[in-house]
Structure 1
Amino acid sequence: MFHKYTFKLVGALGTILQYGCVTHCALEYIGDFVVCTGPSMEPTIYSNDVLFTEHISPRLQRMSKGDIIIAKCPSNPQQHICKRITGLPGDKVRHGYTTYTVPIGHIWLEGDNNSNSADSRIYGPVPQGLVRGRAVCKVWPLHDITMFTTKYVQQE
């Protein structure tokens, strides 16, 4: 009798482990949900908005100007940032009276709220290897569900 329940328990644990592995792989390599905090992307994204992000485009380095991305912060690797790509490798980006050329393997990131955003204007071009995901849509709050399309407009 004890033997019978042991096999059922081991079978159930095996099933849970399999589902856990599949879930981990899906969240790590396909996409996940991110809660954004801070005012740097207002009015597009507000604090506590939840985004669905996909991880395939950054891995294939198929990002475009205007994409909203989640990346590790270059100045604090314990923190993640949510910014918009405004410059790709080889692009010339003007900030004030200075023009920067984005090096190969890097991108230029800026928040939509220029007056309240720590971004590439402070820490320079960001290595593409720090990019974790590309925002696909805002899923929370429910009354403000939004699909993000690439619509980049150069801001003067």
Structure 2
Amino acid sequence: MSKYLWRFASSAGFIIQCSCVAHCFFHYVGDLVLCSGPSMEPTIFSNDIILTEHVTPKLQQIQIGDIVISKCPYNPEQNICKRVKGLPGDKIHTNYGRTEIVPVGHVWLEGDNSTNSTDSRNYGAVPQGLIKSRAIYKIYPFMNISSLNR
């Protein structure tokens, strides 16, 4: 009986260790994101899966042209996928004919599909602290694997 108990405990310990490593990886290094909605078309379509990394936002190294995953500024239970169009201090000329200056600690986010995207043009600059990750590869559908780097 103790032989089976030892095997069970050993297997359980291995599963717990793997789970801890996976959790740390997905929390601190990167993860997979299933995208939905038309705001990033034609770059990213609904049901595309992208690989993201968490290091760049934590080091505050986001640059113009990066595609980021962020908490929605008006609905924190929702994530958004948008492209960085402006960094702190940048002047942004909106479609409505006004000029916005991105405040310190914020970024300007816009979807690639400007006719069908709710973004900074609607809710203003987004705090950098809401950015969770930076998209680096579109990995699904497999026939459309591509880099999403600047």
User: Which category describes the TM-score, using the shorter chain as reference length?
Assistant: over 0.9
1:3-152, aligned counterparts within 5 Å? 3-95=2-94, 96-150=96-150
1-structure distance, mates of 2:149, 2:31: 18
Matched with 1:154 is none
1:7 shift after superposition: 1.7
How many residues align? The count is 149
2-structure distance, mates of 1:143, 1:135: 18
1:5 shift after superposition: 1.5
Letter matched to residue 58 of structure 2: R
> Over the residues paired in the alignment, what is the CA RMSD in angstroms?
0.7
Gaps of 5+ in 2: none
TM-score where L is the length of structure 1: 0.93
**1:85-138 deviations in whole A, cap 9, x for unaligned?**
000011111112211111111000000000100000111100111111100010
| Runs ≥4 residues deviating over 4 A | none
Letter matched to residue 127 of structure 1: P
TM-score where L is the length of structure 2: 0.97
Gaps of 5+ in 1: 151-156
1:11 shift after superposition: 1.2
Q: Percent identity?
A: 53
Letter matched to residue 23 of structure 1: A
